[in-house]
Chains A and B, each alone.
Chain A
Amino acid sequence: MGRFAPLLPELILSIGGTIMMIVAAFAPRRASGVVNWLCVLLLLVATVALIGPPSHAGPVFGGLVTEDLFASFGRAIMYPAAAVAIIAAHGWFERGTEHASEYGVLIVFAAVGMGVMVSATSLVALYVGLELNSLAGYVLASYRRTDERSAEAGLKYFVLGALASGILLYGISLLYGFTGTTSFTGVAAAFGRGAPSLGLLFGLVFLLAGLAFKASVVPFHMWTPDVYEGAPTPVTTFFASAPKVAAVLLATRVCIVALAPATDAWRQIVIFAALASIFLGAVAAYGQTNIKRLLAYSSINNVGFALVGLAAAGPRGTSAVLFYMAIYVVMTVGAFLCVLWMRDADGQPVESIASLSGLSQRQPGFAFGMFIFMFSLAGIPPMFGFWPKLLVFTAAVQAGYVALAVAAILGTVIGAYYYLKIVKVMYLDEPAAPYARVRAPVQGLLVLLAALIVSPLGYLLIGPLSSLTDRAAGSLF
């Protein structure tokens, strides 16, 4: 039994998820709310279970996965974010959707996949985790199967995702072929033996390309706006938060652990991807009229900033990445929860930015929440979103990449424009037709909590959070 203690969170989620699936299959449809709440509970229990052996147990299953603080930190962000995505769907799927109760179950399975992703220390575990997460994601994207846009989003996500998986697998097979091992340390050792061969470099590039797809990093971002727009909003909330963290953290572990001797090789890729994401994410968002598409570009832009920290490498850069992703999740989830409240008089969801017009006069609290998230995502002090940006820039400057920091920081100014546009629409424009009032006390509390964290009060969190990210990053070195 003791052997399984380090895997307690995954065990809770897998076994619990399976039971829930059986329950969902036989329970009456009106019990879907109960099933979803139980799934939330599972995720929260799994989060609590992270304390203890899972945070420091080391290699498990012969080194397929490693339970260290880095992985635990990632899961401690992702599990609650996944739970929020289930809560966000409360009251969303009841009407006209069959299988409403499977929604929570799918997210639980996706969470298992993400847990494997962040703790993977072998190319096989990496792939298994990634696919487990993706498969759940494909279904979730097309969850409203009668809705054309949702079905299209699911199909698009699946086709492109399958392609990316193929690229990833090809990279893995190349790496395996040239190193004879799938473990990260083995790959690192192979890279350490002199200059890497062409095959190894190809493997590295394909591997990173596959991961870039999952993290929706430019130039593998094309699916993001379409899928984010088409998928039901609670699902988009999920896509934009937890799987992003998983993909970025996985990429971090791969780069820092498996590809450490080839840092010069992957660093140029990461720098390109970071800057391309920052600038494309900022520029492409200009013309958007749909808030979900805009937030999709915003997430591309933000992941670009996190990659600046990765490009800096080293414990400080890694710590900055962790810090960034933690705050990014809070900001993004908060912003999407606000989007969930955008309903017209009939209670149908609206997604156009124009409908936010004059919101500050109709619903000041809602508008103020969005205001905080927008300025925080833009990284304007005194909002807390400024701090993680400062950390990644600091890491880049200290690693000697001043030009990268300068370019990235100029990207914040370009990006500020469209966040400012949302604020302008809400605060400066004349009021549009009012939204229907949505009764959702739990979601309201979550938005309040997220807003408090990213408001200037968040600076009080710097101490504990940064010591945690420092230790988590330290477990990789």
Chain B
Amino acid sequence: MTGLPLLTILIAIPLFAGAIALFLNASGARWVALIATLIDLALSAYIWVLYNPDGAQWQFTEFHPIAGNFSWALGIDGIALVLLNLTTFLMPICIGASWRSIKDRVPEYMAVFLLMEALMLGVFAAQDLFLFYVFFEGGLIPMYLIIGVWGGVERIKASYKFFLYTLLGSVLMLIAMLYMVATAHTTSIPVLMGYNFSTEAQTWLFLAFLASFAVKLPMWPVHTWLPDAHVQAPTAGSVILAGILLKLGGYGFIRFSLPMFPQGSAEFIPLMFVLSAIAVVYTSLVALVQRDMKKLIAYSSVAHMAFVTFGLFAMNRQGIEGAMIVMLSHGLVSGALFLVVGVIYDRLHTREIAVYGGLSNNMPGYALLFMLFTMASVGLPGTSGFVGEFLSLIGTYHASSWGAIFATTGIILGAAYMLWLYWRIAFGAARTPEAAAMLDLSPREWWLLAPIALAVLWMGVYPESFIRPIRNDVGRIVARLDTVAPAGDSRLTLPPMHMPIGATH
């Protein structure tokens, strides 16, 4: 490795750029934000290149004690690596998506976005429990402002709901963290990942962490903040929310719940499966009847996140790897879908599905990309969605065939609402003259969507690039869960043998 503290630099670049952007005019702030996020993208790609998938579990570690147990401790494993790259990949796209559509208070907007990026990178890189919490919670403030200041008509209610909902979840996690530190006498996440808490404590700790991650993910029935937040947030805000913030929940399960409380997790597998099953079926049905495009995609996010919880709590290799790929894929695809919605929203300023129609006639390029992302969301083979959902389903099937049955229903329903959405928007005749007069994608919009399209196809055709870095880390988690993983009902169990006594001779 190099001697430079790469992760600190990665976090510091957007912070400094954000501070600079505050003092510039609108166009200066835009360029500073774009350049800073691109540098961060390049740097994180460089980190990926340097990362050795067969090397130590934690790489690029930095450790600077601050006081007592609290320290500036950073380091990444493969799981953090890919999520880190997802963040840096989506950020320049978000800045680009806001290039024209944000006209008020641009310097502040860019500063808040860059702050957001720094905090999210910090969450994935933190190796200290409280440092993690500071980054994790800190993300609330910029997101509150993004929704509240630059959001839609009902932005204030949505921003409050978002803030208080997620804060309530997180403070319970804080209590659990305090207990863990008091018991284990360390705040180091890697050490805690191998620490064995008593079974009873694990139950409570799991529930406390669940309160936080379930809200973030979000799981049914605590998902209600998400549609509001998505609908009111500006396009780039939705992309960040769907692409990165929701991943914090899944990351939390992988990093904390499963390795730190294996018995607690195993105890609640039925609960997690039932909630996931309800989420898949219920939110898919809700998505089916939405008239607002953003709301539809928001509900589809909840359904997709249920594949993550299914996969994770199947507690086997396919399930967890599948969950990771679903997270990455969903980050790209739902981000792209929000951008796609944003493209036509920028033109007509409405998200009503009924206003559009027949866009494949006047916007062929748009219809093509929208089709690709629709298919990826449905899980068509060859796209990233297929890989993740397929692996996750296999894992679920090993653990519980009933779970797999419900999860598969979700895929069918997912196809229904996404294809119907696509049909209503892209095919048929234009329902309003304004919709028929819209222009096709501008070069800027191509630049935003094409990289995501390529990544989606890459992940669909050659997922090994993304599974390689996480393979060993998933293996470690599976080994940790070895004794508690559910046996499953899918394997053939042989009836007891009745051998004649004489046959043993």
Contacts and interface: CB of A to CB of B under 8 A. Distances in A.
Contact of B163 (A382, A410, A416): A416
A191 interface: no
B167 interface: yes
Given A394-B182, A397-B179, A402-B179, A416 B149 contact: no
B71 to A, nearest CB: 10
Given A428-B159, A462-B70, A413 B164 contact: yes
A157 interface: no
Interface in B423-467: none
Contact of A428 (B108, B148, B175): B148
Contacts of B141: 375, 380, 382
A390 interface: yes
Contacts of A393: 174-175, 178
16 contacts: A360-B108, A361-B105, A364-B108, A375-B141, A380-B140, A381-B138, A382-B138, A393-B175, A397-B178, A402-B179, A424-B148, A427-B145, A459-B66, A462-B68, A463-B67, A467-B67
A417 interface: yes
Interface in A123-139: none
Contacts of A386: 134, 137
A269 interface: no
B179 A413 contact: no
A462 B149 contact: no
Interface string B142-155: 00110011000001
Chain B interface size band reads 35 or more
A398 B178 CA distance: 8
Contacts of A402: 175, 179
Interface of A: 360-361, 364, 375, 380-382, 386, 390, 393-394, 397-398, 402, 405-406, 409-410, 412-413, 416-417, 420, 423-424, 427-428, 459-460, 462-463, 466-467
Nearest to A428: B148
B391 interface: no
Given A393-B175, A428-B159, 18 more contacts: A360-B105, A360-B108, A364-B108, A380-B137, A380-B140, A380-B141, A380-B167, A382-B119, A390-B130, A390-B174, A394-B178, A397-B179, A402-B175, A406-B175, A410-B171, A424-B148, A424-B160, A463-B67
B31 interface: no
Contacts of B156: 424, 428
A295 to B, nearest CB: 20
B171 A466 contact: no
Interface in B164-180: 164, 167-168, 171-172, 174-175, 178-179
- Say what secondary structure dominates the interface of chain B: helix
Task: List 10 A-B pairs, minimum CB-CB distance, nearest first.
Answer: A382-B138, A462-B67, A381-B134, A397-B178, A463-B67, A381-B137, A409-B171, A428-B148, A398-B182, A413-B168
Interface in B102-155: 105, 108, 119, 130, 133-135, 137-138, 140-141, 144-145, 148-149, 155
A157 B328 CA distance: 61
B372 interface: no
A463 B163 CA distance: 31
B181 A394 contact: yes
Nearest to A368: B22
Contacts of B133: 381
B182 A397 contact: yes
Contacts of A459: 66
Contacts of A381: 133-135, 137-138
Contacts of B174: 390, 393, 409
Nearest to A412: B171
A194 to B, nearest CB: 33
Nearest to A465: B67
Given A390-B130, A427-B148, A405 B178 contact: yes
| Interface hub of A360, A375, A397, A412 (most chain B Cβ within 10 A) | A397
A279 to B, nearest CB: 15
Contacts of B178: 390, 393-394, 397, 405
A462 B66 contact: yes
A463 B64 CA distance: 12
Nearest to B105: A361
